[in-house]
Chains A and B, each alone.
Chain A
Amino acid sequence: MLRTVLSGLRPRRLVPTLLAIVLAVGFVAGTLIFSDTAESALYDEYARAARHVGVAVTARSGDRLPPSTVDVVRHTEGVATADGRMAEQLPLLDGRGRLVTEFGAPGYGINVGSEGPLRGFDLRTGRLPAARGEAALDAGTSAKIGAGVGAVVTVVAADESRQELQVVGIVEVTGFNGTGTSTVVLTEPELVRLTGATGYREVVGSLRPGADETAVHDRITIGGRVRTGAQLRHDLAREASGQLSGLLVGLQLFAFVAVLVAGFFIYNTFSILMAQRQRETALLRCVGASRAQIFRLVLSESALVGLAGSALGFALGVAVAFGLSRGATLVGLPEGSLVLTAAPATVSVAVGSVVTVLSAVVPAFRATRVPPIAALRASVPAAGRRRALVVCAALAAALGTAVTVTGLRTTGATEAMVLVMAGGIGNFLALLLLSPLFMGRLVAALGWLPGRVFGVPARLAAANAHRNPGRTAATTATLLIGVALMAGGSTVAATVNRTAEAQLNEAFPVDYLLTPALAGGTVPATVAAALQADRTFALAAPIRQATATAGGRSLLVGTVDLRAYQPKVTAGRLTDFRPGTAIVPAASDALGSRRVGSSLELIAGGRHVTVTVAATVQSSSLVGDVVVSGSDFAALFPDFTGDSMVLVRAAPDLAGGVTRDRLDAALATHPLVQVDDLAEVRDDRNAAIDQFVALIAALLGFALVIAIVGIANTLSLSVLERTRESALIRALGLTRGQLRATLLVEALLMATAGALVGVAFGLLYGWLTTEAAFGAVQPLLTIPVGQLTAFVALAALAGTLAAVLPSRRAARLSVVTAIAD
């Protein structure tokens, strides 16, 4: 029997199947290896802080360790050396005197340390600071503000004075608040002088050879949190994976899509292959092979092919991972060499083999059910399993719709989103199952126009795409999955962008937002006063915020000039707002069961103020959970000085550059006031959205590659099947070019149909997902028409490209031999 299996493995015939497996496994393996690599690179980055550390004492939050701690640790039995690590907020200004921030947070200063091996950073170029006025800068910030070795940078000391420092070195360091925070390395006395540091955040010690970490750990009994080096590394790793989790979820999604697409792809190729070998199978049956033998034959063949394809695919995956990790450094992930573990190899090879064997089982089973004589005679039409198909689809759709509706009714944004997406998967499965029923018709409908314009070849193409709906559906499934995901993603992105923009514009019809750079600080009241006196600014409205309690729950009470705050009202009227009343965002927890007219008692520091809800509004709680009048706020918090933030609007007819310069000038004496330029906020958000769209584009690229191979596979096999048919029309007067055109149009129609259905589904679920995610806020559904059109056009182009080779093969056919056959 094995001899028959091996003789059945004709290389040429198995190329499409093998290609399918290789590509699919390659992607799965690539994603998995890349996850491992990215994870390990990030762990390495974080682990820097734990290098050579055998024991660490960390200060409690907000606390510092006294300088004596270093001596205590150093003199503990088993400790070789010890060093103290300082980290204090030290705002850095860029060349134009603006604060350097990462996610709105200013940077830190750290001490250079006295024990080289215990340093939490690596020197890249230059040297470490050794004297007053010298500093080393982290590589990221150095690149960001363009300050290399030899440059002079300005920091803001604790007394708000500006101090110039000479950059003498560039270091690699994991910022105090994660990667990206600006970090200035100073000598310890300089750091103390600038920041007024009173002690260490952490004291670390290395151990003498042979000393036991746990024993040393147990000997240290001073204040602070004592951890062994292993514990520290473990905690750092957890922090790192927190950073990575978003990316990992994305990659897992990729891998999941890859497996799904691959499964379809392999199944499709195998069923076509089996259909073509029906006669061969029948012949085997006629000469005495039993059903079980045939079944085993197909299974062992598919297992062999599956294993071979998976092995090759894994090799491809290594290459894919290499490419991905190169690309990842561009988006700011740390660089690292490839990490190859057993898991990706096992998983991807298992997926490849199992999916291949499963894909072979159904057609193999079908092949054995055909009576041998019938199979020998001519092509046997595939037995329809319509009812089972429709029942399965109906079940999936019912379940999917139920889950979606539940999701839309759920209040928690995250759960709602997850439920809607899960419902989407159910409905998508139903769509895939039902696609044989409508895909053919859709293709025929799409073919109408080209049929009119290009005549017979296009009409033949539409008819061909229509003749085997199951195969057309399976071929387009890959594109459908890819395009649906992309259309959904870009709809979500566009809707989020527009909704956020509208919310920002509605809630804050302003140009700049001034906030304190340091946590817990305020913007001096003089800032708002100075800006109000300047004609350049139409508005400078301070917002004050403080925490009070109401009904036992703590909430943020804010007050603001209503000229700068015009949110959309959901109930009541803004004009009713006066002392003694409050405006409450509809989504705020403070509202509870209260409606317009209900009263709300606010308590702070033993003072009570009761307000009546004048209006509920549709906006996030940027001002506060409860917005009260200035006098009520003063009554509740009499000791409050300064402003929590200032909203600034420029005079209408001034250019952005002019107002920004005036604003920077006005703030020159207040370096710790941070300016959020809403135009920049928009740019940042647009950049984030662009990154998301780029991710979607990567998915598109992947889906297109697989789809091209899939369509090419189906078409080449169809070309083989239709040899005599092609010969007939060639004899009747179809030119070579027209025959080629027929196949190109067939592919074009299939791809377009798949892409259109995908766009429709993606649009629907993109909209539902944002509906669920926004909760009380009404999202503004935005259809990214340009992008969606581009997806369909790209898919159509890819489909046509896929048909190029098969159509050439079809056109090469010799009429006479095919007819005589």
Chain B
Amino acid sequence: MTSHAAEAADVVKIHGTGETAVRALDGVRLTIPAGEFTAIMGPSGSGKSTLMHCLAGLDTVDSGAVRLGGTDLTGLSDKALTRLRRDRVGFVFQAFNLLPTLTAEQNMLLPLDLAGRRPDPQWQRRIVDVLGIADRLGHTPSQLSGGQQQRVACARALLARPDVVFADEPTGNLDSRAGGGVLDFLRRSVRELGQTVVMVTHDPVAAGYADRAVMLADGRIVGEVQNPTPDSALAELRRLGA
């Protein structure tokens, strides 16, 4: 048994070919311990989103290995990767998190529906209560505010009790208050609900909510801050010349 929720070993990812080839990830080695809130930070183009895509089984690596909850993702078929995402990964994206044709509740249940599984009613009630979206479940995304939409996305990500929740700039499109609410929830889901969260962000304030901040530049891990505050995260980013 490993206590690592996810692991990247010497991961290399190259975008493009020939002269235009870019090493988006250049030998990344990273472990994500279970039950921790990890922030991946770095300037634009540092490869942080690519790293998340590879860890989450959205993208394949060119060399090295990615393990998620003990499963080696390298070499898995598209179908197997899809299943894995459906059953063991939760996602919160920066924007366009919900399907416009479904209600909040239907959106929330979508991954479970796809898997043909029923949600644990107690767990569902708890998540809905913590997020404060109980009275919004019948609404369609267009009837929800940005913050509410993002909270529904969080609920969806957590409902299946995934091995890891990946959040890609989850507060990028929100004002600071709504963003604070979402980040607070992500932290509570780690502390109180025992979930594992990996968040990609370039915002030091957001990183301040995490247990650990990993710094990425030019496709390499260049630093790490334990229990970051907005100030220490910003200082570390500055040190890297971002």
Interface residues of A (CB under 8 A from B): 455-456, 459-460, 463-464, 466-467, 724-725, 728-738, 815-816, 819-820
Contacts and interface: CB of A to CB of B under 8 A. Distances in A.
Interface in B63-99: 78-79, 82-83, 85-87, 91, 93, 96-97, 99
Contacts of B113: 455-456, 459
Contacts, number: 69
A737 B78 CA distance: 11
Contacts of A459: 113
A510 B233 CA distance: 103
A718 to B, nearest CB: 12
B49 interface: yes
Contacts of B78: 735-736
B116 A735 contact: no
Interface in B101-133: 101-102, 110-111, 113-116
Contact of A733 (B85, B96, B97, B101): B85
Contacts of B156: 732
B53 interface: yes
Contacts of B87: 733
B59 interface: yes
A456 B99 contact: no
Q: Which of A725, A731, A816 has the most CB of B within 10 A?
A: A731
Contacts of A733: 82-83, 85-87, 111, 114-115
B237 to A, nearest CB: 22
B97 A728 contact: yes
Nearest to B168: A819
Given A724-B96, A736-B79, A731 B101 contact: no
A737 B56 CA distance: 20
B61 to A, nearest CB: 12
Contacts of A464: 101
Given A455-B113, A459-B113, 17 more contacts: A456-B110, A456-B114, A460-B99, A460-B101, A463-B99, A463-B101, A464-B101, A466-B101, A725-B99, A728-B93, A728-B96, A733-B82, A733-B86, A736-B79, A736-B82, A816-B53, A819-B168
Interface of B: 49, 53, 56, 58-59, 78-79, 82-83, 85-87, 91, 93, 96-97, 99-102, 110-111, 113-116, 156, 168
A719 to B, nearest CB: 15
Contacts of B115: 733
B159 to A, nearest CB: 11
Contact of A729 (B58, B110, B168): B110
B100 A732 contact: no
Contacts of A815: 58-59
Contact of A731 (B58, B83, B116): B58
Q: Closest 4 interchain pairs by CB?
A: A733-B86, A463-B101, A735-B82, A733-B114
Contact of A725 (B58, B86, B96, B168): B96
B231 to A, nearest CB: 30
A193 to B, nearest CB: 87
Contact of A467 (B56, B86, B101): B101
Contacts of B49: 820
A819 B114 contact: no
A531 B83 CA distance: 84
Contacts of B79: 735-737
14 contacts: A455-B113, A455-B116, A463-B99, A463-B102, A467-B101, A725-B99, A731-B93, A732-B110, A732-B156, A733-B111, A733-B114, A734-B114, A735-B83, A738-B114
Nearest to B50: A816
A734 B102 CA distance: 15
A467 B58 contact: no
A463 B91 CA distance: 23
B82 A730 contact: yes
Nearest to B99: A725
A573 B82 CA distance: 80
Contacts of A820: 49
A731 B53 CA distance: 10
A731 B97 CA distance: 10
A702 B150 CA distance: 49
A819 B58 contact: yes
Given A456-B113, A460-B101, A816-B53, A731 B85 contact: yes
Contacts of B101: 460, 463-464, 466-467
Contact of B100 (A455, A467, A731, A819): A467
A819 B59 CA distance: 11
B223 to A, nearest CB: 25
Contact of A734 (B56, B59, B82, B93): B82
A779 B186 CA distance: 73
A816 B114 contact: no
A460 to B, nearest CB: 7
B68 to A, nearest CB: 14
Given A466-B101, A816-B58, A731 B91 contact: yes
